[in-house]
Amino acid sequence: MAILVRPLREDEARTFFDIHSRAVRGLAADSYPAEVIEAWGARASDRAIERFFENPESEIRLLAELDGVPAGLGVLVPEKLELRACYVAPEAARQGVGSALVQEIERIARERCLTRLELHSSINAEPFYASLGYEIVERGEHVLRSGLRMAAVKMRKQLEIGRAHV
């Protein structure tokens, strides 16, 4: 199976949000209450799409394709040293898509001389990030736009500049 990770194109915003929604609903539903899944995995409104294009934090947005089909998304916010998102469509889970996204995010981070990345992981994704070398900083909560709180894990990874991913 061929995995390609590339920059998200402007005409792919709905694909981006669709993957996010399907990933949350399909992969996190066993770890969170239904109301959290509903709020977190809500379909994107037209206003959400407009805000997405504004991109005030200069997010670097990536799309992963598995055999030519959109299968995952990733987001890096260099100024905040933040791996903001890595979501994989349920049908593409455990096929290397998430790992390929994180590897590309880390490559871009190193290219920009970032020495670490931080993230807020869902509890269901914690083992995934741990397997890629991210360490737990603290357990806590993340507040969704709706105001609902969800359990989350702050994680961090030191990056070695000038070292290719092995």
Q: What is the DSSP letter of 53?
A: H
Q: Which residues pair with 156 in a beta bridge?
A: 118, 135
pLDDT in tens, 110-161: 999 999 999 999 999 999 999 999 999 999 999 998 899 999 999 999 998 7
118 vs 136: CA distance, rounded Å: 10
Please give the pLDDT value at position 163.
54
pLDDT in tens, 64-103: 999 999 999 999 999 999 999 999 999 999 999 999 999 9
Nearest to 155 by CA among 139, 133, 136, 142: 136
Nearest to 75 by CA among 87, 54, 64, 61: 61
